[in-house]
Amino acid sequence: MNHFKHLIFTTVATIIALTAGAQDIKYQMPPKEIAEIIMSKPFPNVIFSPDYTRGIIAERECALVPLATLAAEELRIGGIRINPRNFTETRVSFFNTITLLDVATGGLTQIAEIPSDAMIRDIKWSPSGKYFCFLNENPDEMELWRVNVTDPTPKAVKINRYKVNTTISNGNAYEFLDDERIIYKSVPSDIGPVPTPTLPDGPVVQENLGERNSVRTYQDLLSSPFDKALFDYYCTVIFAIYSSGETSLAGPKEVVRDYDISPDSRFMMVTTEQHPYSYMEGHNSFPSIREIRTISGETLVVLSDTNKEKAEKALRDKAPKDTSAANIPEPPLKMGFEWRSDMPATLVWREGESSPPPFAAPDTNADDKEEQPEKTFTDKIYQCSEPFNLEEKQLVLAPEYRIGRITWGNSQLAVYTESSQKQKFTRTVAFTPCDTIAPKHILFTESTDVDTLGNFPVYGRFWTVPNQYGRRVLYTDSKCSHLFLNDTRRPDENGDRMSFIDKITIKNGEIENLWSGAAPYQERVIGITDFNRLKFISERQSISEVPNYYAVDIRNRKNSHRQFTFFENPVPILSKVTRNFVTYKRADGVTLSANLWLPAGYDQERDGKLPVLMWGYPYEFKSVAEAEKSRPARYNFLRPGYGSAVLWVTQGYAIMDGISMYIISENKDKEPNDVFLSQLIMNAEAAINFIDSIGIGDRDRVAIGGHSYGGFMTANLLAHTDLFKAGIARSGAYNRSLTPFGFQSERRNYWKAKEVYDKMSPFNYADKLKTPILIIHGQMDNNTGTFPIQSERLYHAVAGHGGTARYLQLPYESHGYSAYENVMHMLYETDAWLTKWLSPEEVAKVKERQQKEKERKDKAKDKKNE
């Protein structure tokens, strides 16, 4: 036996007993090489100042937390999870340390008086870059701290007088109004005692009176009046404003969903949540009021009130057609309120028809109708300024087609997108705001049809810079003659996606490429520091080089990249393994790909064929060309996390990571999922045939695994093929009737596509699932569709039909796993499962059983034919 096989299979004796019953076991550790990788330090984050002269290096010692952290008291209400001790949202990532970085020199400055045992999050720079702030969570309070980076010895100072409330943060628990003033959501000091449960005075009732209300399946919803009381208690906030050491309160106590400060910081647009709350949807779908206020909290105008609008619509709908109420014209729908980022305090909005309901295909709830000509000018963009009388509005733009995104520049220039569903295009247009006579310039047009040839261009996004208000606006020259474009998705000659910077001339749409990334690096533009000489900050990495930051000057050909961070390889144990990007074809000629990892020191002639672990995730496409363009990145440096199959390259396995699992429509009129199973199987067969044909993988010892939709993929492959000897299905959904209003890219509902839903559900084929399957699920998974009952029912079904299955439930875990004890044990179980079922001895036993079963069936068939 060669040394790789010996490495894998000498631990067979340590495998835990596999039985159909429940088992009480203690947490275990995976092999030390895997544990070492998991405990390695995650890559640092760098948050750059607005002018890119400084950065904050934020680091975390370990990506995992103790199980006790997850086990702490937690409320799951309104679609969010709350720590009731300190009024924070739980399960949010954080940093332990922060260090100040000088971009010019690469020098590092320690920040004094950082709180001990820090749990830092939401780091933000002030508009000028003089200060930065961060939140720090401690057991009883979320704190707000500020650092003056211009001090000779920068130190952190706690500035919040009131406890910060982050239960509904949306990334803006606090915001800079200017360098010296900061607004934050605080816990009211007179909030009173926590509501206590009482005996219900009646049942919980839900009712629908003929309205369509098709929503996807959600977890952590309200379920009782007591839940509603808790939601109000923990999510009620009052705005606090810190200024020069003093703190004042602004506005009433309320449940704030979101707020947006005007660029000049004189006004704020606030959205508050209103009763009646829903038992079917999360808090973001609760009734709401949106209004404009002064920064001190005085309400100036109500922009929308969904309860009032719903009542008015009901009145119109119910009124007899010949009454005055029925003849009142429906007011134009106002939506998409936002501040113009290039103006001090100018409100803009869209008026027109409502958008189609989310998750619904055009024909989901309608019969076929005669094709109608496409409407034009369905939307108009308006604006107004103080005192924000929406009737005294000014027309900003009247697009020809359905409006999309607007990116503001200045009073002379902005850019918008508009799209035509009928003509299948989206075009990007430059215009002069509020000047309906000035000519518009079509910058480029993109097809939204199926890319059958794979040659649709990638234009990217327009580059924006902070203006005098600290808001991001289009960068252009003084004559407004050109703009810059940037993205990371433009394929090079080999089909690998690369970053680029382009310059586009507004007058004629002519595009000039100024810079493009090149192999063997993966590079991302962070910030442009000089548009004339094209100097910029980039993050660059390769297969062998960890991500680091560089000051780039493309005119300096001798030293175009000056490195100013020097982060080291956190996983040196992987430095000697081999990684290759491989391509292969499936039976219908579609080119597939994967990253193939081989153990350190592997010699094909000496070591022969290896056991193989494949890991994948299905994606849907409308054409072959679109699918083949989506291949995984091959020039990134990998620090495997707990969910990566690459961990097992340290145990002697060949790893095919990111195997292509393309599900491609047969034609434009068909949906990809109409051929889900046949193409899923074809993808798997191609991967096994490839690894076997190059003499590296043993086709009789291949396991398949995946997380979420990848777990769903795994169960389907095991139920419909005998290609694999084992499977690992993590946090998947296996019965599609439990996600009846769509999943992934499937927009048809269960009743419109029942055959597709049923055929794609491995639960329905549990009697055919005989390959050993390890089913793993977090007990508190709140991801849409992947409730823990999905795994529980699959396990019961497989076990009930005599299949081989093991069901691992991870206490307190959500859709992703974060507790040290759970993650290590999950990896231990996965390693044990692979070792058990991919051992040569077990494979021989399986073959023997299969042969005996074949002989039994042949005899029965012969006897029947006699």
Condensed to tens digits (0 to 9), the pLDDT of residues 63-107 reads 999 999 999 999 999 999 999 999 999 999 999 999 999 999 999
The sign of the torsion formed by the CA atoms of 766, 770, 771, 775 equals positive
Catalytic residues: 708, 781, 815
- 173 vs 158: CA distance, rounded Å: 15
Strand ranges of the sheet holding 97-102, from the earlier edge strand across to the other edge: 45-48, 54-59, 97-102, 108-110
Residue 125 bridge partners (DSSP):
132
Condensed to tens digits (0 to 9), the pLDDT of residues 250-300 reads 999 999 999 999 999 999 999 999 999 999 999 999 999 999 999 999 999
- 354 vs 335: CA distance, rounded Å: 8
The predicted structure's pLDDT at residue 24: 75
Instruction: Tell me: pLDDT of 733 over 90.
Output: yes
Q: Which of 75-89, 439-453, 463-477 has the lowest mean pLDDT?
A: 439-453
Residue 796 phi/psi, 5-degree rounding, is -60, -40
CB 580 within 8 Å of CB 596:
yes
CB 240 within 8 Å of CB 184:
yes
- 89 vs 74: CA distance, rounded Å: 9
Rg (CA), the chain: 29
Whether cis (ω within 30° of 0) applies to the bond prior to 193 is no
Q: Average pLDDT for residues 24-32, to the nearest whole number?
A: 93
- 35 vs 642: CA distance, rounded Å: 9
What's the farthest any 2 CA atoms get from each other in the chain? 98
Whether cis (ω within 30° of 0) applies to the bond prior to 618 is no
Q: Average pLDDT for residues 160-181, to the nearest whole number?
A: 96
The predicted structure's pLDDT at residue 315: 82
Query: What are the residue ranges spanned by the domains of the chain?
Result: 342-354+376-519, 572-852
- 700 vs 688: CA distance, rounded Å: 9
Helices (H), 545-634: 604-607, 624-628
Residue 792 phi/psi, 5-degree rounding, is -60, -45
Residue 833 phi/psi, 5-degree rounding, is -65, -45
- 513 vs 865: CA distance, rounded Å: 73
Whether cis (ω within 30° of 0) applies to the bond prior to 520 is yes
CB 222 within 8 Å of CB 206:
no
Helix (H) or strand (E) holding 307: helix 306-318
Q: In three state form, how does the secondary structure of 782-828 look?
A: CCCCCCHHHHHHHHHHHHHCCCCEEEEEECCCCCCCCEHHHHHHHHH
Condensed to tens digits (0 to 9), the pLDDT of residues 341-366 reads 999 999 999 998 644 433 333 343 44
Hey, is 688 helix, strand or coil?
A: helix
Q: How many alpha carbons lie under 13 Å from residue 73 in its C-beta half-sphere?
A: 7
CATH of domain 572-852: 3.40.50.1820
